[in-house]
Structure 1
Amino acid sequence: MRLADFILQNMEAIVAQWEAFAATLLPAAANMKSPALRDHAQQILQAVAKDLSTAQTREAQFEKSKGHAPRLIDAPETAAQTHAILRARSGFDIRQLAAEYRALRASILRLWMDECPRDELDMDDVIRLNEAIDQALAESLGHFSAQVEQARNLLLGMLGHDMRSPLQTIQMTASYLVALNAGENVTRAGSRLIRSGARMHALLDDLCDFNRTKLGLGINIAPTQVDLAAVFGDELDQLRTIHPDRRLRLAIAGECRGVWDGQRLQQMLGNLVLNAIRYGAPDTPVRVSVTGEDADVRVVVANNGAAIAPADIEQIFEPLKRGADHEEKYEEDSHLGLGLYIVREIVKAHGGEIDVRSEQGETAFSVRLPRNR
């Protein structure tokens, strides 16, 4: 008997073994009833049987074994994809999901071999089954990973949002302690709390922005008429207060007014300058130049110091990435590695472009911002 026919005729026996195995995947399956344990097993098996009955070239079979079967445009989710989403929501982990497919493959082959004489077993059917199961597994793993990542991002976003209120209370209390003028020790302790709270607030802002982009929402901007000379001048004044030992220079040329989100561009410049302070030579200035042109404004943040390795340049705007020598040189850094990623997303939200050049002891980030997008 051909394997496709065997699967369709023995559907209940195969699904029963699927259910029995799924029930052993604890703790997720502990309180699940039969319909939930079986989930989309029957639909997955029907798809496998249909695949086995469909004529395919060797090339098509090979691609399918890698999980690259062609998908129709605007086609609905497959049973394997829907199954993965439901398993993720039920608390299964990715190893348990993969184990279901391994067990399914073994159950089908074992029942088929027990039922049919050996001389009637077609080895090509075995190969085709492996390819079909691999394709279903690839579809499941892709959707499972996406579902888990989305849930994680939502959790982190809610956590970041909910932490703002107690953090604001801490900062307000610290400011009150400083204002009391109750002695040098109290004032010094309150000042430390204020600085630490500001760093935590910046980390939470980066975390919330990161989660917005990972959820497909992008960086939120509210464009208004903005004068970049004033906005950037104010940002550098604040950074000079925080880093009194560093020289920060600002050069303005041309018309620098346009329609942008001023607060977001302050955040962009702050991240670039802090990056330059963090990695640049401490005895050299960080140079910011803003040049107004006809259609856009160009912003360059440059610093002197060791050049960035080409391998690090390639991933410098990726989230949670740092240079190979970061941990060795900057053990006390407390940032998340999101600063340049947030910069890129802010620039992208404004319809602009950003690139980086690092050579001959100078690193420069160059941003182009359309004046009226």
Structure 2
Amino acid sequence: MKAAAKYIEEHTHDIIDLWEEKVNKEISASETTNSMVLRNLLPNLLEDISTVLKRNEGKKNFLKEENCSEIVKKSIDHGRHRATSSHYTVKQIIREYIVLNQALTELLISKDLHSEDISVLLTYILETSMSHSASSFTDSIQEMREKLVGTLAHDIRNPISAAYFAIDIMNYADGEEKFNKLKKTTRESLKRSIDLMEGLLDAISVKAGEGVTLNFQKGNIVEELKSVYGEAARIYANEIVLECDEDEITGVYDGTAVRRILENLITNAIKYGAQDKPIRIILKKHEGKLKLSVHNFGDPIASGNKKIIFDFLSRTDKEASGQLQSWGMGLTFVKMGAEAHGGHVELISNEEEGTIFSVILDIKSNEPGKKRARLNLSD
């Protein structure tokens, strides 16, 4: 077994190349997953396989899961990663491990390093890995659905609160103009609630690597964002300031998604920001795109958490404790929504400047129509 283990250590790239060649032929989802994603978990997995082979040299009772402890964590990571890769299924994950067993066996036989014991141990290792990876994949998809549904349910509260507020102060005696304005606010808020309800149903059917369906339409994005600002200013006790020099910026975007992006950022700013300092919303043109920023003062986000807070599936139990867990799915949606609009999210957080979440949006990158958002891990 030691000779086989040494060969695996010294020829990792050959094994990965053969595995990738076979995977690309046999697994359709790999066509939409780039080479680096396919290869990223294999070096450590092969290193662990080599370690397990060396540790069980000469042993007869090696078919125990504790002998594969190194493999289990990598397998769980593999399953969670595949849950964010488009079009993957449990069947395809299982096939990846079968193909790896085939590649290892083929190369070891060609070098006269294969034996019955090695075959049994390799099969056991990879079946153990396959089982944990498939379970992790399934659990991650379910977690994704539950958190998308939970976030949508949470976000419905904002427009309903705005509608309730408008109805509560609506009085025809205050004049027809004010009455009609509040009536319009109520109607728009309830319409957004219905749109979010449809998103709840959509989230139930989410598959690997997918987020919710967005509906891109042409419109004035400034109007959408000013509406969110107005609602927030009425609902929250904090001082909220809007800095926007434009009355109209026309483009193609999903109005519900853009509003949810801003609502999530405002909610976090209120939750984590200093209560005695204003929250600033800044909208400006930026290198042919739009830059939407929300700024607050308060305790800065630790540098080690600046990527983790966007990717709920990448967190360990330890990482999910405390403040990290309370960020929830909201920032994952912010990142997903920005990328669906051809953009990205930037974050600055320190004692001097405070915390600034900036969402870059390209409202010329999409055509009108529906499109499934992608749920990607951070780089």
Q: TM-score, normalised by structure 1?
A: 0.52
Task: Give the aligned residue type for 2:243.
Answer: A
Which residue number corresponds to residue 23 of structure 2? 73
Which residue number corresponds to residue 263 of structure 1? 256
Task: Give the aligned residue type for 1:355.
Answer: E
Which residue number corresponds to residue 368 of structure 1? 360
Are residues 1:343 and 2:347 paired?
no
1:351 and 1:369 in contact (8 A); partners too = yes
Task: Give the aligned residue type for 2:362.
Answer: P
Which residue number corresponds to residue 141 of structure 1? 132
Which residue number corresponds to residue 60 of structure 1? 8
User: What are the Cα deviations for residues 65-105 of structure 1, in whole angstroms up to 9, with x where unaligned?
Assistant: xx98935123547xxxxxxxxxxxxxxxxxxxxxxxx9995
Are residues 1:131 and 2:80 paired?
no
1:210 and 1:342 in contact (8 A); partners too = no
Structure 1: gaps (5+ residues): 1-51, 78-101, 107-121, 180-197
Are residues 1:241 and 2:234 paired?
yes
Structure 2: gaps (5+ residues): 28-59, 65-112, 170-189, 366-379
1:209 and 1:270, CA in 2 relative to 1: closer, same or farther beyond 3 A? farther
Are residues 1:317 and 2:317 paired?
no
What is the correspondence of 1:295-334 to structure 2 with a 5 Å cutoff?
Answer: 295-319=288-312, 327=322
User: What are the Cα deviations for residues 278-322 of structure 1, in whole angstroms up to 9, with x where unaligned?
Assistant: 111101111011112462111111111121111221312122769
1:251 and 1:290 in contact (8 A); partners too = yes
1:259 and 1:216, CA in 2 relative to 1: closer, same or farther beyond 3 A? same
Alignment partners' CA distance in 2, 1:340 and 1:307: 16
1:156 and 1:225, CA in 2 relative to 1: closer, same or farther beyond 3 A? closer
SS of the residue 2:230 aligns to = helix
Alignment partners' CA distance in 1, 2:305 and 2:356: 14
1:271 and 1:327, CA in 2 relative to 1: closer, same or farther beyond 3 A? same
1:205 and 1:362, CA in 2 relative to 1: closer, same or farther beyond 3 A? farther
1:348 and 1:240, CA in 2 relative to 1: closer, same or farther beyond 3 A? same
Which one of the candidate residues 219, 223, 233 is aligned to 1:230? 223
Task: Give the aligned residue type for 2:263.
Answer: G
User: What are the Cα deviations for residues 159-191 of structure 1, in whole angstroms up to 9, with x where unaligned?
Assistant: 999x99xx9xx99xx99xx89xxxxxxxxxxxx
Q: How far 1:347 sits from its partner (Å)?
A: 0.7
Alignment partners' CA distance in 1, 2:298 and 2:203: 29
What is the correspondence of 1:25-44 to structure 2 with a 5 Å cutoff?
Answer: none
Alignment partners' CA distance in 2, 1:326 and 1:147: 22
Q: How far 1:236 sits from its partner (Å)?
A: 1.1
Q: How far 1:60 sits from its partner (Å)?
A: 2.7
Alignment partners' CA distance in 2, 1:293 and 1:250: 17
SS of the residue 2:209 aligns to = coil
1:141 and 1:297, CA in 2 relative to 1: closer, same or farther beyond 3 A? same
Greater radius of gyration (CA): 1
Which residue number corresponds to residue 281 of structure 1? 274
Alignment partners' CA distance in 2, 1:366 and 1:265: 13
| Paired residue total | 247
Which one of the candidate residues 347, 350, 353 is aligned to 1:356? 347
State the superposition RMSD in angstroms.
5.0
2:199 and 2:212 in contact (8 A); partners too = no
SS of the residue 2:312 aligns to = coil
Alignment partners' CA distance in 2, 1:224 and 1:203: 16
Q: How far 1:136 sits from its partner (Å)?
A: 3.0
Alignment partners' CA distance in 2, 1:286 and 1:146: 39
Alignment partners' CA distance in 2, 1:222 and 1:340: 20
Alignment partners' CA distance in 2, 1:157 and 1:268: 14
1:223 and 1:261 in contact (8 A); partners too = yes
Which residue number corresponds to residue 243 of structure 2? 251
Alignment partners' CA distance in 2, 1:226 and 1:290: 16
Alignment partners' CA distance in 2, 1:144 and 1:324: 21
Which residue number corresponds to residue 32 of structure 1? none
User: What are the Cα deviations for residues 110-140 of structure 1, in whole angstroms up to 9, with x where unaligned?
Assistant: xxxxxxxxxxxx9964344313321233233
Structure with the bigger RCO (C-alpha within 8 Å, sep 6+) is: 2
Alignment partners' CA distance in 2, 1:75 and 1:367: 39
User: What are the Cα deviations for residues 184-229 of structure 1, in whole angstroms up to 9, with x where unaligned?
Assistant: xxxxxxxxxxxxxx9x999989977876666433232111222222
2:149 and 2:204 in contact (8 A); partners too = no
Task: Give the aligned residue type for 1:136.
Answer: E
1:305 and 1:361 in contact (8 A); partners too = no
